[in-house]
Amino acid sequence: MNVLSVHISVRTWDTNMKLSLETFDVVQPQFQTADNTPLVLMNSEVSSDSDTLFHGEIIQVNPKSPDFVQLYNRTKQLVFVRFGSLCITAHVQAVLKLQSFVSSLTHLLESQAAKVIEPTVAAHETSEKSDLATKSDVSIIPSNVKDSDSKVVD
């Protein structure tokens, strides 16, 4: 069972946001264990000394708050993060399957990126060729070159 909790409190003088993650499980139903249950790719367990895997809290205070000095010690923003212990159980076959998935996803993204880049490059080359065609109609002869013998004149 995955447990993620979010609590946001917006008051006149301050805003408080809390996020905590108690546990998470990643299951691959494609594979079965010996007792015909879906294979667990990753399983986290909360250790006995902490109640959450992750807890984060952000507090933003308006400096005009009447409690700004006493309660918040003149702090406009406070970020508090606490990490608990994390125990992960991973199955070799599941890790290999995950590696295969990441590899295929990488190849797919690279091929999609190439398809997006190719038309852009082709359009850029076409516009350069059309610019050259309009520019080639005009002959530019530097002022220090004679037309008859093409030597530099000082």
- State pTM to two decimals: 0.47
Residue 26 lies in a domain: yes
Q: List the end-to-end C-alpha distance of the chain, in Å, as a whole number.
A: 87
Residue 78 lies in a domain: yes
Residuewise pLDDT in 10s, the chain (154 residues):
568 889 999 999 999 999 998 877 778 788 778 888 887 777 776 666 567 788 899 999 999 999 899 988 999 999 999 887 666 666 787 778 888 988 999 999 888 877 766 665 555 555 555 544 444 444 444 444 444 444 444 4
Bridge partners (DSSP) of residue 23 are: 3
Report how far apart, in Å, the C-alpha atoms of 39 and of each of 2, 96, 103, 105, 120 are.
16, 13, 21, 22, 44
Residue 83 lies in a domain: yes
Structural domain for 68, as ranges: 1-93
Report how far apart, in Å, the C-alpha atoms of 109 and of each of 35, 96, 140 are.
37, 20, 47
| Tally of domains in the chain | 1
Residue 150 lies in a domain: no
Residue 154 lies in a domain: no
Residue 71 lies in a domain: yes
How open is the CA angle 6-11-13, to the nearest 5 degrees?
125
